[in-house]
Homo-oligomer: A and B are copies of this chain.
Amino acid sequence: MIFSSDNWAGAHPAIAENLMAHAGGYAAAYGTSELDRKVEKRFSEIFEKDVAVFFVGTGTAANALALSSANRPGGVVFCHREAHVNVDECGAPAFFSHGARLSPVDGGRGKMEAAGLEAEIRRFPPEFVHGGQPMAVTLTQATEGGTVYSLDEIEAIASIAKANRLPLHMDGARFANALVSLDVSPAEMTWKRGVDILSFGGTKNGCWCAEALILFDLSKAEEMHFLRKRAAQLFSKSRFIAAQFDAYLAGDLWLDLARHANAMARRLADGIAASAESRLAWAPDANEVFVVLKRPVADRLQKECAVFYEWHVPHHLNGSLAGDEGLYRLVTSFATRAEDVDRFVAGC
């Protein structure tokens, strides 16, 4: 059974079928087809606001383009230390932004602490040209720690960003998982709480390859057309992304898939909490479960029946693991089955 990542699953049948359904016929290229337009409108409905939508191919592309749209010379982006942009994108944000730097902020369980963010921003006073200048704040929702910022926590970060006249980006690679976890609306979790630009991920939640950059500030849209094209992220047969989102956003499919993934994570967490052989590192809010296992146990599971990765022990857990223990990450997805969860908990 597979708990390595939600991107090891394929495409949900409804999404694959919609691709099939749109394979024939002709459509205008480069994002100008009727289907592209239809999906863009759907995003505006979902967010209860006219938004600008840019399809791109990867979450890294969405994040890096979002940050490059805030580009300033000598610019500094503030993010959580464990953020995907900081540790898993091979420097793409810096490359897309011509050398902008990421300044990591600490905080337990994947969440930036407001006080830490403020302190980090203060390291770059406006009159000190040598240090560079703040240019954006980015947070991940759900976080890389499988947790979810509350609306108030988002607003607290946003108010610091605003006070420093910095745009706030949300990396929503697992946007749907966070949304159903909080049980709020997309608008409430984003622009109503101060998010300016969003990487809206579909890939990890049942699409093949469907990511969208959502701009809540339409004045930034004109430049984004050129940023995206220059970054080689404008797809000629763009409807292949549109068709995926078309099915994904139809009815509540996207939310149902996320609810399933989260439920599987909770089931996994409950099983682990009740187990003698393992313990939760912390409680999951979305579809990632962090668990402390004795290494021999983990080794056996990995050899015999399950795929999952050991994880870097974050700063706030230092000292809390025994010598023969490791931290492991288990990720569920729309495709995870309850019986696989139960078998894993039972030692496969």
Contacts and interface: CB of A to CB of B under 8 A. Distances in A.
Interface stretch (A94-102, A137-145, A292-300): A94-102
A11 B26 contact: no
Contact of A229 (B4, B59, B74, B97): B74
A160 interface: no
A276 interface: no
Contacts of A332: none
A27 B8 contact: yes
B229 A232 contact: no
A223 B7 contact: no
Contacts of A209: 57, 209, 235, 237, 240
A270 B7 CA distance: 50
A25 interface: yes
Interface string A223-258: 101110111111111011000000000000000000
Contacts of A101: 91, 94, 101-102
Given A95-B99, A99-B99, A240-B208, A88 B233 contact: no
Given A17-B20, A99-B97, A58 B10 contact: no
Contact of A26 (B96, B233, B335): B335
B29 A10 contact: no
A130 interface: yes
Given A26-B2, A91-B74, A225-B129, A233 B232 contact: yes
Contacts of A56: 232
Copies in the complex: 4
Contacts of A102: 101
A59 to B, nearest CB: 8
A60 interface: yes
A61 B234 CA distance: 10
Interface string A82-114: 000001111111111111111000000000000
A310 B97 CA distance: 32
A8 B23 contact: no
Contact of A27 (B10, B24, B226): B10
Interface residues of A, number: 78
Nearest to A236: B7
Most B CB within 10 A of own CB, among A90, A94, A204, A237: A90
Contact of A13 (B23, B61, B98, B225): B23
B229 A92 contact: yes
B95 A91 contact: no
A269 to B, nearest CB: 21
A237 B7 contact: yes
Interface of A: 2, 4-5, 7-13, 15-17, 19-20, 22-30, 56-61, 64, 68, 72-76, 87-102, 129-133, 203-204, 208-209, 223, 225-227, 229-237, 239-240, 335
18 contacts: A7-B29, A8-B29, A10-B23, A10-B25, A11-B23, A17-B20, A20-B20, A57-B235, A58-B233, A58-B234, A60-B229, A90-B130, A90-B131, A92-B232, A93-B99, A94-B101, A129-B226, A209-B240
3 residue pairs, one from A and one from B, having the closest CB atoms: A95-B99, A94-B99, A61-B232
